[in-house]
Structure formats: C-alpha cells, structure tokens
Structure 1
Amino acid sequence: MTSSTPVTDTTPHRAVVVLSRALDQAGDVLEAVHPDDLGRPTPCEDWDVAHLVAHLLADPVNMLAMGRGEDVDWSAEPPLVEEGWAQEFRNRADDLIHHWHQVDDEHAGAADFNTAEFATHTWDLARAVGYEGDLDPEVAERGLAFMTATMKPEMRGEAFAPEREAPADADPYARLAAFAGREVS
C-alpha cells in the first residue's frame, strides 16, 4: 500500500479521527504478536519485541497523563506484560481517545503527536513480527507531517537516530520510519 498524498485535511477533528485509526491498527498488529516473537529484534535499536510491546502498552497511559498536564518520565522502563497485549492496549487506548474526543478544536490538532508515535512504533512492530496486514497510509502521512514540522535534529536526543534516506519509491510508513532514524530497505 503506497501513497504520496500529502495531508490535506488539517482540521483538528480530523487529527482525532486519524489517531483513532492509528490506535486501532496498533491493536491489530499487537494481535499478531506471539509469545515466541518476544525475543526478536526490532527496527528500534536496543529493543526486542518484548520491550517494544511494553513501550506501546505504556504509550496511551503516558500520553493521557501528558494530555492532562501531568509530568511523564518517558525514560522510565515500562513493565513487561506476559500476555493479552492487544486487549490491554485497546483498553488503554480507549481512555486516550476518549480524552481526545473531549478536547476543544483549538487543541485537538495536538493529537498528531500521538499519531506520530503510534504510527512509528506500529511500523516497527509490524516489521519485527512479519505482520502482513495493510497499514493505513493516512496515519503515517499525518505522523510524518507532524514529525517533520516539529522534530529538529537537535531535538532527537536518544529516542531517535539521525534521519535516514528513504528509497525514492518508499510508501508513507517507510518515509516515516526513515525520518525517525530507522533503516528502511
């Protein structure tokens, strides 16, 4: 599934709609994770599938706390979850999307930050476990638009490697992953 369509609907409400789809597809990819996948490497350097799953499970909780104005320690190691990843994620994601549905239009566009995070890590996990389903290109496009507009090289810290070049025919997820410092082939 490839697309080079730029993000054209920049209405705040659309940001929340696309975040909802990002959360749904993250849950779908988590459904594809099997216990024997947990030790596999991922495109996130230094993380295996178990750590990526734990990070994805922590993201909705952390993002909800951040949305409420609470301090979040993004460097804290999330607890590893033994099973039931998809359902646990969906429960946590429901709380997050409920929060975004209550945000006024002036602030709803900030949901794209969440979309960028989920799009990137959903791609990471899909690659790591050999997920064969389609990923929503609009999710990646919005995530990439947000990241390119906000993440300058000096802001990458330890979370993101330097941007890499994506192949000329790269789909939206490969372009997003390359921007996030992933090796894309």
Structure 2
Amino acid sequence: MIIEIREAYRRALDDFGALVHRIAPEQWENPTPCVDWDVRALVNHMVGESLWAPELLAGRTVAELGDVFDGDLLGDDPPKAFDAAAAAAVHASCAEESLTRVTHLSFGDVPGAEYITELFADALIHTWDLARAIGADERLDPELVETCAAWFAGAEDGYRQAGVIGEQQPLPADPDAQTRLLASWGRRV
C-alpha cells in the first residue's frame, strides 16, 4: 500500500529517531554503510536535513541560508537535537501548502511534494544504515519500503547519474522488496 508522502516521511523519521535513542555511548564512532560517515556523522546529517526542511518548505533558498547548518548540529545531547529538528521538519511538511510550494534546492526548483519525497527516502534508507551500524533490527517498515520503491523506480537513474547513490548491488535469488530497494540505493545487504 502506497502511503501519503507526509505520513511516510513522519513514520520514517520516527523509525530513525527510535534508533537514535538506542545508540550506546560507545557506538557513536561506529562505521556506517555510508562511505566516510560514522554514526555521529550520519545522525548529524539527518539533523541537518531536518533543519533545512522548514526553511526550504517556507520558500527560502539555499543561498539565503548559506552555511547556517554546517558543522556539528548535535551538541552534547544528540537524541534531543534529533527530536527537535525532526519535529520541526514534520510540522513544516504537514502545512497545507507544503506539497505545492516551490522549494529552491541546490540543483534547482522542485514542488514541495518532490522535496518531501526525497527527504522521506533519505530517512528510510538511513534508518537501515543506522540499524546496521549499531547492530539493531534492520527490517524496515514494509509499507514505507513499498512507497519508496514505487517513487524510486522513476528517480533511480537521475540519482545514479548525479552520483548521490552507489552502484546497483547484486541481488540474491528471490530477494524481498527491502533487499531490492536497498540494492538499488547501492547498499550491500
């Protein structure tokens, strides 16, 4: 079942946040499937994306914001930083005009619905990355996987050409939907 994109985004952030709250002190430096990112860098990335969302969904540009969300955004309480940023992002995505407002991204202007879909997909895939890095259950919500896969089928080539995902990974015999999605994002399952 394909889920409305704002609901899918909220659920993906909730799932990622649940894992953030399970990170043990000694796990913050664990490597992740994301090249050059440890757990702290991955969570910092997600906090940064969540901080950008309300600004971009309000019509501001990347140029206007500059480097305001660069650097360490986690401080001394990473779960608290994530929770606050995610709540603001979800709130902004639920605004009535969020789906139709033009968002000014670094690569061009897109409708808010497309931007929220990209945020959702990133949160979903990074949920798996974080689970893998901290040794948690790697199963993703099947409805979110289906929603992401339906969108990504049309976006994959563009993502790969832009160099923002890895190469398609080989699939085992009879892969499930999650394995197919992750492999298409360049993840070795």
TM-score when normalising by structure 1: 0.78
How many Å apart are 1:37 and its aligned residue?
0.7
How many Å apart are 1:62 and its aligned residue?
2.0
Rounded to whole Å, the distance in 1 between the matches of 2:83 and 2:159 is 33
Sort the Cα spacing of 1:86 and 1:163 in 2 relative to 1 into closer, same or farther, 3 A: same
Match of 1:37 in 2: 27
Question: Does residue 1:149 correspond to 2:154, yes or no?
Answer: yes
2:16 alignment partner AA: A
Q: Identify the range of structure 1 (174-183 vs 47-56) with the bigger mean alpha-carbon deviation.
A: 174-183
Q: Identify the range of structure 1 (55-64 vs 131-140) with the bigger mean alpha-carbon deviation.
A: 131-140
In structure 2, the gaps of 5 or more residues are 101-111
How many Å apart are 1:176 and its aligned residue?
2.5
Question: What SS does the corresponding residue of 1:32 show, helix, strand or coil?
Answer: coil
Question: What SS does the corresponding residue of 2:170 show, helix, strand or coil?
Answer: coil
Deviations 1:86-126 (A, max 9, x none): 22212111111111211348636432221101001111001
Match of 2:12 in 1: 22
Rounded to whole Å, the distance in 2 between the matches of 1:17 and 1:137 is 14
Question: What percentage of aligned pairs have identical amino acids?
Answer: 28
Rounded to whole Å, the distance in 1 between the matches of 2:55 and 2:2 is 29
Rounded to whole Å, the distance in 2 between the matches of 1:115 and 1:84 is 24
Match of 1:95 in 2: 88
1:150 alignment partner AA: A
**Which of 33, 36, 58 is equivalent to 1:68?**
58
1:87 alignment partner AA: K
Question: What SS does the corresponding residue of 2:164 show, helix, strand or coil?
Answer: coil
In structure 1, the gaps of 5 or more residues are 1-6
Sort the Cα spacing of 1:57 and 1:173 in 2 relative to 1 into closer, same or farther, 3 A: farther
Q: Identify the range of structure 1 (115-124 vs 162-171) with the bigger mean alpha-carbon deviation.
A: 162-171
Rounded to whole Å, the distance in 2 between the matches of 1:77 and 1:176 is 30
Sort the Cα spacing of 1:100 and 1:154 in 2 relative to 1 into closer, same or farther, 3 A: closer
Q: Identify the range of structure 1 (113-122 vs 64-73) with the bigger mean alpha-carbon deviation.
A: 64-73
Higher relative contact order (CA 8 A, sep 6+): 1
1:94 alignment partner AA: A
How many Å apart are 1:64 and its aligned residue?
2.7
Rounded to whole Å, the distance in 1 between the matches of 2:33 and 2:122 is 14
Which of the two has greater strand per residue?
Answer: 2
Sort the Cα spacing of 1:20 and 1:8 in 2 relative to 1 into closer, same or farther, 3 A: closer
How many Å apart are 1:158 and its aligned residue?
4.0
Question: Does residue 1:113 correspond to 2:106, yes or no?
Answer: no
